[in-house]
């Protein structure tokens, strides 16, 4: 099997494993990670630097692990292009110390997870498994019913919500959040439960990812459908999805009532011609 320049085949293919590439140059970390992935039977590759998006697509990866420090000044731009250009790919950032703002930025650009270094390879593998498990669950489901809520049409097969023909422009994870909240029929979901079911693992103490995502999703939904409020906050607990018309908003019916329909004009009687 041939690979693009800078790509090394480090593993053995496995039908049940995860096909993964790692953009990293930390030889000590990679050595330990490679041994563990070999034992799992995963096909894995080390990339010495960024490769074109079309080459990532050709690799048919299940997950990509990126150390942003390897990418230099182009790191954020490349991360955004990968997440947008390969929407089915699970992207995990595994890099050195970062601020909250940097982690939030990475997640907002489309990364599925952020793992700070130093980390144990076993934790990284578990996070990769969680990301790919969620994506496989979504990809393997049959065409689900479209859910209507207020003006929204939530379409699981497209991973998107629409108002008429207009998309709310949700990312995949944002859609998963909307779908989860909408699926529990108005029940309040605690932040920890949301994190567990959307991110796939337990929420760390003090993690505000759920609040960040809810604010962004709420903004997108209400921008697309300004007369409706969809996600409600229960302070200290979590969130509830329930479409409600805003005060002063008027719901326009699909067709006017019969008594408001314009009356048919009477036909003019034609004059008979005299013989």
β-pairing verdict for 63-66 and 90-95? parallel
Distance (Å, rounded) from C-alpha 219 to C-alpha 170? 11
Give, as one character, the DSSP assignment of residue 12. -
What is the model's pLDDT at position 2?
34
| Every domain range in the chain assigned CATH 1.10.10.10 | 147-245
* CA distances from residue 169 to 52, 159, 165, 218, 235 in whole angstroms, order as listed: 25, 10, 12, 12, 27
Distance (Å, rounded) from C-alpha 54 to C-alpha 80? 15
As a whole number of Å, the CA-based R_g of the chain is 25
Closest CA to 44 of 9, 5, 68: 9
Q: Which fold has domain 7-140?
A: Rossmann fold (3.40.50)
* Cis preceding linkage at 126, omega within 30: no
Closest CA to 151 of 257, 248, 229, 232: 229
DSSP string of 111-156? -SEEEESS--HHHHHHHHHHHHHHHHHHHHSPPPPPEEETTEEEET
Contact in structure between 64 and 81 (CB atoms under 8 Å): no
| Every domain range in the chain assigned CATH 3.40.50.2300 | 7-140
What is the model's pLDDT at position 16?
52
In the predicted structure, residue 251 carries a pLDDT above the cut 70: no
Enclosing H/E stretch for 234: strand 228-234
21-35, 175-189, 259-273: segment of lowest average pLDDT: 259-273
β-pairing verdict for 152-155 and 63-66? unpaired
β-pairing verdict for 189-190 and 166-167? unpaired
Query: Looking at the domain covering 147-245, what would its CATH class be?
Result: mainly alpha
In the predicted structure, residue 101 carries a pLDDT above the cut 60: yes
Mean pLDDT, all residues of the chain? 81
Give, as one character, the DSSP assignment of residue 88. T
In the predicted structure, residue 267 carries a pLDDT above the cut 60: no
Confidence of residue 201 (pLDDT cuts 50, 70, 90): low
- Of 173 and 267, the structure prediction assigns the larger pLDDT to 173
pTM: 0.51
Confidence of residue 269 (pLDDT cuts 50, 70, 90): low
Distance (Å, rounded) from C-alpha 145 to C-alpha 26? 46
Closest CA to 176 of 142, 109, 115, 131: 131
């Amino acid at each position: 099997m041939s690979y693009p320049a800078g790509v090394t085949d480090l593993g053995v293919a496995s039908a049940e494993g995860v096909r993964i590439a790692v953009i990293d140059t930390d030889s000590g970390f990679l050595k330990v990670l490679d041994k563990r992935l070999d034992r799992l039977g995963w096909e894995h590759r080390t990339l010495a630097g960024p490769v074109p998006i079309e080459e990532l697509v050709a690799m048919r990866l299940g997950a990509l692990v990126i150390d942003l420090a390897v990418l230099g000044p182009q790191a954020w731009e490349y991360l955004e292009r990968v997440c947008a250009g390969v929407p089915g790919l699970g992207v995990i950032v595994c890099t050195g110390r970062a601020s909250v703002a940097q982690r939030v930025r990475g997640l907002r650009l489309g990364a599925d997870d952020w793992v700070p270094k130093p980390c144990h390879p076993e934790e990284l593998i578990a996070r990769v498994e969680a990301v790919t498990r969620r994506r496989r669950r979504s990809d393997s489901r049959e065409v689900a019913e479209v859910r209507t809520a207020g003006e929204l049409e939530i379409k699981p097969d497209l991973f998107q919500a629409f108002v008429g023909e207009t998309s709310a422009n949700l990312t995949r994870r944002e859609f998963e959040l909307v779908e989860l909240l909408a699926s529990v029929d108005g029940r309040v979901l605690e932040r920890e439960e949301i994190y567990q079911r959307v991110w796939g693992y337990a929420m760390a103490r003090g993690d505000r990812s759920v609040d960040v995502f809810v604010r962004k999703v709420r903004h997108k939904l209400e921008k697309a459908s300004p007369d409706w409020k969809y996600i409600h906050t229960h302070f200290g607990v979590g969130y509830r999805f329930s479409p409600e018309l805003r005060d002063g908003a008027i719901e326009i019916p699909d067709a006017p009532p019969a008594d408001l329909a314009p009356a048919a004009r009477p036909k003019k009687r034609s004059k008979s011609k005299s013989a």
